[in-house]
Amino acid sequence: MEKKEFRVLIKHCFLIGKNTVKAKAWLDKHYPDSSPGKSIIKDWYNEFKRGRVDTKDAERSGRPKTAVTPENVAKIRKMVLADRKLKLKEIADASKISESSVFTILDEHLDMRKLCSKWVPRLLTPDQKQQRIDASETCLSMLKRNRTDFFRRYVTMDETWIHHYTPESSRQSRVVAGESRPKRPKTQISAGKVMASVFWDAHRILFIDYLEKGKTINSEYYIKLLDRLDRVIKEKRPHMAKKKPLFLQDNAPCHKSMATMVKLSELRSQKAPPRQEISIK
């Protein structure tokens, strides 16, 4: 929810007689992940007590940001979506506006930030949120309809980084009174890591794939994992010979590429939105 919408809710709490503590508790209950802080609620309560009736941003002094226009916002959105690895200077040169204006557009208007050298949305878009709601409701409906059958057919996957060392916990590093600290080799933080793709169902892990050093998970690589998944399911889950597995995957680029969708179609899958059921046979 946006800041302007929260201001309206804060005004509603003020008008019905809730104090700041009760208003904060009410907002936390209904919006636990994005509710405003105590100081913001108190500031707006003070504004309303002084007679303020609107919840809009106050006029600010200074030179207006003439470069931040709807046309430039649309232009930069297209540029970033076409190439997420663009630098601020490159975007500024191409759009003929300053780097500060470009950053304002990316940060305030497009809600994007730099992550791993790529511009990505800071928050989920309304479409992405709705896709997750639809997927969750679909799975919940299937679970309620036949709980046993759902868990027999449900298969999912995820990727995770595995480091080449195991950091020592605080309990492990604790020294008993009267004993000297044991000598151990220095942990090399830069020892490296490997990407693991884990496929599992309600019973156990089906298989784990470790990405070779120097390679990346692209559509071609992921398609081979789907072929392997198909073989493993036929081998380890013979009860799925007649009923299709319910395969759930996220919306990573290689998972939703055209080549991957074609492969899923070849495996007699049903195309579905990210985080929704995809049947493979």
Model confidence at 199, pLDDT cuts 50, 70, 90, reads very high
Note the pLDDT of residue 185: 53
Model confidence at 272, pLDDT cuts 50, 70, 90, reads very low
With 0.85 as the threshold, say if the pTM is over it.
Answer: no
Model confidence at 228, pLDDT cuts 50, 70, 90, reads very high
For 167-194, write each residue's pLDDT tens digit. Answer: 555 555 555 556 565 555 555 555 578 8
122: number of Cβ within 10 Å: 12
**Sheet containing strand 205-210, strands side by side:** 205-210, 193-201, 154-163, 246-248, 277-279
Q: Which domains does the chain have, with CATH numbers?
A: 3-49 (1.10.10), 70-121 (1.10.10), 126-166+191-279 (3.30.420.10)
Report the DSSP beta bridge partners of residue 120. Answer: 113
